[in-house]
Amino acid sequence: MSRNVCITAAEGQTGHLIANLLLRQDEYQDIGKVDSVVGLTLHPRHHHVKELQSLGAKIVHHVPGREKVVANTLRETGCDTICLVPPAHKDKHDICVELIRAAKRAGIQNVLFISSAGADYADPRRQPHLREFIELESLVLSTKGDSSAPLGHSPCIIRAGFYAENILLYAPQAQSEGDLTLPIGKEHKFAPVALGDVAQVAAHVLSGKGPHGFDDRHRGQMMIVTGPELCAGEELATAASTALDSPMKFEDISPAEARRTLKAQASEVDESEKEYLLEYYSLVREGKTNYIATTAFHDVTGNYPKKPTDFFKMYSEDLRPKKKVKKDHS
């Protein structure tokens, strides 16, 4: 049974990492084999795309705007499986809608959609960017009962939790002041998940095979993937202190300050992604992220997601203060 995978938004961190895992099969032998990987990208010259090409991926320029043209592009890739990763783009929603419709039109059998945990708790007025994921999920799943649509017979959705890597956007404060600054309030908790852990689940699903497309253990699943530990800001700072062997303090900043900081320190991040981050932080402040979901990760991979201390150790060079920060004994 062949498996030819097309991954959208291959220039982004998520698409790039998923493709990377599938292409380096000799190194990740717990992940199933695929026959080919196509990287669909809005930016063919991006360094992530060039790296995937060097590993053996076929790179295809994605030009949104006409569903028929996108469907033909997908058909020409020869893929039987598509991993729909929302791009970091101001028109993310429209591009995703077009891709979902084009994939159906192209007759692609298996579809994995990377959604967002917390989208079901998002308020359409306060967190509109997050809430859009619910509509996109519905579009993916709506063809399940349509016998004329191959796309509907083997869907899977991963609702990825808040990527722990987003904390790195505030790394300058950690390095210069020993402060972990986040606009999440002081009481409620969330469970950041390492991007690599989400990519692992996706790679297992995309390479899994069954009589109807995806492995029957994955087909039709709504997988919520968060980190393994609930953390309030202080607990996150404690985990960082332990991992970095340097005292870190949590500072709850206002949404306005968070917005200014993102504007100043994350100029390379798309504006729509910044809005998504700020909306997720507001979910934390509202107490709507006080849960963990690790069952899917364990069932799919056989392992457990990284704890916060492991994450901070992995990125210690990015976060460790440049000079020793004195502990406050006041």
At the topology level, CATH places domain 166-189+229-289+307-319 in UDP-galactose 4-epimerase; domain 1 (3.90.25)
Compute the distance between CA of residue 179 and CA of residue 166 in angstroms, rounded to an integer. Answer: 15
- pLDDT for position 325: 45
**Residues 6 or more apart from 276 whose CB is under 8 A from it?**
116, 129, 130
| Residue that the structure tokens 């049974």 belong to | 1
- pLDDT for position 170: 86
Compute the distance between CA of residue 95 and CA of residue 78 in angstroms, rounded to an integer. Answer: 21
- pLDDT for position 149: 60
**How would you class 328 by CB atoms within 10 Å of its CB: exposed for 0-12, middle for 13-18, buried for 19 or more?**
exposed
DSSP letter, residue 307 = P
- Strand-pair category, 81-84 with 58-61: unpaired
Which stretches within the chain are classed as H helix? Answer: 13-23, 47-54, 67-77, 92-106, 128-141, 171-177, 195-207, 233-244, 255-265, 271-285, 295-301, 308-314, 316-319
CATH 3.40.50.720 for domain 4-160+193-225, yes or no, is yes
Beta bridge partners, 182, equal: 252
- pLDDT for position 243: 93
Helix axes 67-77, 92-106, angle to 10 degrees: 60
The answer to whether residues 67 and 105 touch, using CB atoms and an 8 Å cutoff, is yes
| DSSP secondary structure string for all residues of 83-141 | EEPPPSSTTHHHHHHHHHHHHHHHT--EEEEEEETTGGG--TTT-HHHHHHHHHHHHHH
Averaged in consecutive runs of 10 residues, what is the pLDDT profile of the chain (330 residues)?
A: 94 97 91 96 96 97 95 96 95 96 93 97 96 95 68 84 92 87 94 97 96 93 97 95 92 94 85 93 97 97 95 88 51
Compute the distance between CA of residue 180 and CA of residue 243 in angstroms, rounded to an integer. Answer: 13
- pLDDT for position 71: 96
**Residues 6 or more apart from 94 whose CB is under 8 A from it?**
64
Cα 257-263-248 angle, rounded to 5 deg:
55
Residue ranges per structural domain of the chain: 4-160+193-225, 166-189+229-289+307-319
